[in-house]
Amino acid sequence: MATEVIMPKQGLQMTEGTIISWLAKEGEAVEEGKPLFEMETDKLTIEIAAPVSGTLLKIIRPEGDVVPITELIAVIGNDGEDISDILAKAGGGAAPTQASAEPAASPEASEPAGSAGAEAPATAAPAGAPAPARSPGERTFSSPRARMRADESGVDLDGVAGSGPDGLVIERDVLAAAESAPKATPLAKRAAEAEGVDLAGIAGSGPRGKIYQRDLAQAGRSAAAGAVAAPEDRLVKLSGMRRIIAERMRDSLDSAAQAVHRVDVDMSEAVRLRTSLKAAEIPVSFNDLILKTVARALRSHPRMNSRFTDEGILEVGEVNVGMAVAVDEGLLVPVIRNADQLNLGGIRSESRRLAEAARSNRLAPEELQGGTFSVSNLGMYELDSFTAIINSPESGILAVGAVKEKAVVVDGTIVARPMCSLSLTYDHRLIDGAPAADFLRTVKALLENPYRLL
């Protein structure tokens, strides 16, 4: 019985690995536990041992190939063993998998013949298959049935992790995503869409937490309404999250040399862009625009995207932007990976997905790691400006205030403009005042000319 060798997942954040070198040739004997190949991830280079002893019958992915985790890369077995089934599977996508499982079927059998056939791609996938995550910006491949379900349930396919072959998004992925989406009445969904409100941030007052229209209004008000003052002291036991936040905040202030720059940004063009996108039924929030802007600016200011290590300053290749999300009794900072490679729509769907996952406590551990820089937006609380503490070991954090009409002087005249105040907290160990100011100037310039983001 031949053994399939797959690209192993090394670490939570790994989505793919590069095969650096094969340490055995085809036809050579390999021994269980002895190095078989060398690979590299975004984090490390590592030798991987052979899972079994036997003959390396076939190397499917050559050196230099970048291979998503769990994908077949080689076959180990006995000399002369017939591995054509495995090779056939490795050669194509879902359809050959099916064909090989039913060798007697006519060639037409792999074509969807009716509604039952159309269902096949979904049911053919192994139920327990691990979900290979797509790297952000990558095109989403989905089955026709998944697209139909997505249409029905209003699920954004870009935000769905595929569990099918090659990360194909299949029906059950969409159903699961729809299941985990916030429950809202049809009217509340409509109203939220019309107002560009993210349902993920709203507490439902209906049965089983269902969101009703009144909750949208309530959500708008609750920001302004103060909490009822309790006359007595109340001791709140530290939750795990609270304890971690406490430690991380203290550590951050203890280790990083935190300094703050502040700048006011004229959001007139951003408002305009947002309005026109909204008219085109692409509801993009100011926060989405800022996330996109920061990602773009980080790409051109690598020092702002770095990390202080004992060996030196590590300028991180990926631009992974954290977004602070307030959750019950705490704060989470899920990370938009490779945010610089996402377009606005991608940022929008990813930020919504992460915010919802954060609030419903469904973030995968790797979705909380690997950030290089974070954005904290308290604009909905109508703050003019505030400073944030760096989410260690990141290099900086941008604190975003409310977009408000303010009197500003333009060409010698006082005019009202929608202004937004940005405060950049940066680690002075990594970057000095002038380059940090330059970064902030880039952010300001992009936000004032947001069409450059498109």
Partner 1 sequence: MSETYDLVVIGAGPGGYEAAIRAAQYGLKTAVVEKGELGGTCLNRGCIPTKALLHAGETLAHIKDASQLGIEVAEPRVDLKSLYKYKDKVVRRLRNGVKGLLKARGVEVIQAEGRLSGANAVETVMNDGTRQTLAARNIILATGSRPAVPPIPGLEEAGYWTSRNMLEDNPELPGSITIIGGGVIGVESATILSDLGVQVTIVEMMDQLLPRMDADVAEVLRKELERAGVGVKLGVKVARVDRSDGGKVCRIETQAGEESLAADEVMVAVGRAAVVGDDVAEAGVALDRGRIVVDENLRTSLDGVYAIGDATGTWWLAHAASAEALAAVDHIAGRPNHTNRSVMPSCVYTRPEIASVGLTEDEATSSGRRCHVGRFPLAGNSKSVIVGETSGFVKVVCDADSGEILGTHIVGPRATDLVAQLATAMSGELTAEEVSAAIHPHPTVSESVMEAFHDIEGLSIHKL
Catalytic residue positions? 428
- Can residue 191 be called a binding residue for partner 1 (CB under 8 A)? yes
- Can residue 218 be called a binding residue for partner 1 (CB under 8 A)? no
Residues 197-216 that bind partner 1 (CB under 8 A): 205-207, 212-213
- Can residue 332 be called a binding residue for partner 1 (CB under 8 A)? no
- Tokens at residue 174, please? 């969409």
| Least distance (Å) between residue 187 CB and partner 1 | 4
Instruction: List the x/- string, 136-175, binding to partner 1 by CB under 8 A.
Output: ----------------------------------------
Which backbone phi and psi does 233 adopt, to 5 degrees? -70, 155
Q: Cβ distance 210 to 192 under 8 Å?
A: no
| Least distance (Å) between residue 215 CB and partner 1 | 11
Residues contacting residue 260 through CB under 8 Å, at least 6 positions apart: 387, 423, 424, 425, 426
| Least distance (Å) between residue 194 CB and partner 1 | 7
| Least distance (Å) between residue 183 CB and partner 1 | 12
- Can residue 243 be called a binding residue for partner 1 (CB under 8 A)? no
| Least distance (Å) between residue 16 CB and partner 1 | 43
- Cβ density class 352-365: b for 16+ within 10 Å, e for less: bbbbbbbbeeebee
Q: Is the dihedral of CA 293, 297, 298, 299 positive or negative?
A: positive
Rounded distance between C-alpha atoms, residue 136 and residue 273, angstroms: 24
Closer residue to partner 1, CB minimum distance, 191 or 298:
191
- Total residues in contact with partner 1, by rule CB under 8 A: 12
- Can residue 188 be called a binding residue for partner 1 (CB under 8 A)? yes
Closer residue to partner 1, CB minimum distance, 116 or 228:
228
Q: How far apart are the first and last CA of the chain?
A: 53
- 40 forms beta bridges with 18, 45
DSSP track, 152-199: HHT--GGGPPP-SGGG-B-HHHHHHHHHHSPPB-HHHHHHHHHHT--G
- Can residue 226 be called a binding residue for partner 1 (CB under 8 A)? no
Q: How many residues does the chain have?
A: 454
Closer residue to partner 1, CB minimum distance, 12 or 187:
187
Closer residue to partner 1, CB minimum distance, 216 or 402:
216
Interacting residues toward partner 1 by CB under 8 A: 185-188, 190-191, 194, 205-207, 212-213
